[in-house]
Amino acid sequence: MIPLGTDLNTSHEELQQAAIDFAKDALGHDMIERDREQAFDRDDWQKCAEFGVQGMPIPQEYGGLGLGILPLIGVMEGLGYGCRDSGLLFSLNAHLWTNSIPILIYGTEEQKTRWLPPLCDGSLVGANGASEPDAGSDIFSMRTRATRRGNEYVLNGAKTFVTNAPVADLFVVYATIDPALGPMGITAFIVERDRPGLNIGKHMEKMGLRTSPMAEVVLEDCIVPIDNRLGREGRGVEIFECSMEWERGCILGSFLGVMRRQLEGCIAHARSRKQFGKAIGKFQSVANRIVDMRVRLDTSRPMVYRIGELKEQNKTAVLEASIAKLYVSEALVQSALDAVQIYGGYGYMTEQEVERDLRDAVAGTLYSGTSEIQRNIIARSLGL
């Protein structure tokens, strides 16, 4: 096994090992079939809740484990390593960072007490509706309207690319109270699935992460009480960016685990597969590819754990999260591509379960802000 870095202390390492054992044992069965059929596994979701995944960052008083962010990244790395169902891990990440965490940080006491325990114990699946057909990277140009009517708001608009929507019970939805206010009009709402006027649109088929369901969400005169508003009116940008900062950082923990699993698989294959009378790993060009995979993993790890360290000290990690998101998501794509090459024709075959990692990896350069958008954020921080 590729050794861990020095980022985790002993108890955190034990927790990570427990996550690896749990994931290998309990998750990711029948992956080829479920990937083909785009099947989300609710039983595995429940097993994760029982293990504590959905409650990791949530304080115990709201039904969680109250883990700090560093051990949490360590657990994510363990899950990425042990669990072959990257779609499930992606759904868990969407649930945690774009639904539970905003409710924890910006929710009223009543909202937290009401929603966090069932989000932790697996009975509710969370989702986040921000993107719209005409508002992707330019997210704050969204058109979904929230019209105030006494003690309620009426929501109208369409959200797209909503991860978990087909199976979700609770949505954090962003809408503008007045497009003329620009970003300062964006407001966040908690919307229950059974609220009249919230309709789940067609299931969206994807290249990768196929076991993580996705759909459009249409809001048609959907009335939500003022008590369902999350945070202040016009402060949705802050909530959205907070979600992105957490997601950008923590989801990368699982990427590290995937990179480590791929690397070990490639080393084993390069040692056992013989051509021209010797192990292919003895050919320098094959070995170099594996060396590059190792270098990518070792350069990625400190970037991800740095986000954890900063957040643990209550410091902002916007820039560090963007740098890490850009670097690690692209490193994962390159390493997944290298893995296919090292396995040769077998790597291209579904049965080997190497090509799926590549399809899953590509999404990482798109969601939570594309690579281009991360570069824009970094450029701006340099005064450019």
Partner 1 sequence: MDPIKESLRSFILAEYLLGESPANLTDQTPLRTSGILDSMATLGLVSFVEKTFGVMLDAHETGIDNFDRIEDIAALVARKKLGQ
Ligand X SMILES: Cc1cc2nc3c(=O)[nH]c(=O)nc-3n(C[C@H](O)[C@H](O)[C@H](O)COP(=O)(O)OP(=O)(O)OC[C@H]3O[C@@H](n4cnc5c(N)ncnc54)[C@H](O)[C@@H]3O)c2cc1C
Residues that bind ligand X (CB under 6 A): 94, 128-131, 136-137, 161-163, 209, 363, 366-367, 370, 372-373, 376
Burial (CB count <10 Å: 0-12, 13-18, 19+), residue 374: buried
**Using CB distances below 5 to 8 A depending on partner kind, what does residue 366 bind out of partner 1, ligand X, none?**
ligand X
What minimum distance in Å lies between the beta carbon of 378 and partner 1? 14
Q: Is there a catalytic annotation at residue 247?
A: yes
Using rule CB under 8 A, residue 136 touches partner 1 = no
**Using CB distances below 5 to 8 A depending on partner kind, what does residue 179 bind out of partner 1, ligand X, none?**
none
Calpha distance 225→246 (Å, rounded) = 28
The answer to whether 120 and 54 have CB atoms below 8 angstroms apart is: yes
- The one catalytic residue in 77, 247, 320, 355 is 247
Element housing 206 (H / E): none
Q: Among residue numbers 286 through 325, which ones bind partner 1 (CB under 8 A)?
A: 318
At 146 the three-state DSSP class reads strand
**Using CB distances below 5 to 8 A depending on partner kind, what does residue 94 bind out of ligand X, partner 1, none?**
ligand X
Closest CA to 77 of 309, 249, 222: 249
Using rule CB under 8 A, residue 383 touches partner 1 = yes
Using rule CB under 8 A, residue 237 touches partner 1 = yes
Using rule CB under 8 A, residue 241 touches partner 1 = yes
Q: Among residue numbers 150 through 209, which ones bind partner 1 (CB under 8 A)?
A: 177-178, 180-185, 187
Question: Which residues have C-beta within 8 Å of that of residue 324, sequence separation ≥ 6?
Answer: 248, 249, 252, 300, 303, 304, 306, 307
Nearest to partner 1 of 232, 271 (CB atom): 232
Using rule CB under 8 A, residue 134 touches partner 1 = no
Nearest to ligand X of 128, 300 (CB atom): 128
Amino acid identity of 68?
Answer: G
Q: Using N-to-C axis directions, what is the helix angle for 318-343 and 284-312, rounded to 10°?
A: 160
Query: Of the candidates 24, 39, 111, 140, which one interacts with partner 1 according to CB under 8 A?
Result: 140
**Using CB distances below 5 to 8 A depending on partner kind, what does residue 234 bind out of ligand X, partner 1, none?**
partner 1
Q: Using N-to-C axis directions, what is the helix angle for 236-272 and 284-312, rounded to 10°?
A: 150
Binding part of the chain for partner 1, among 205-213, 235-243, 288-296, 335-343 by CB under 8 A, reads 235-243
Compute CA distances 168 → 165, 321, 366, 383, whole Å: 5, 27, 22, 41
Catalytic residues, by residue number, are: 247
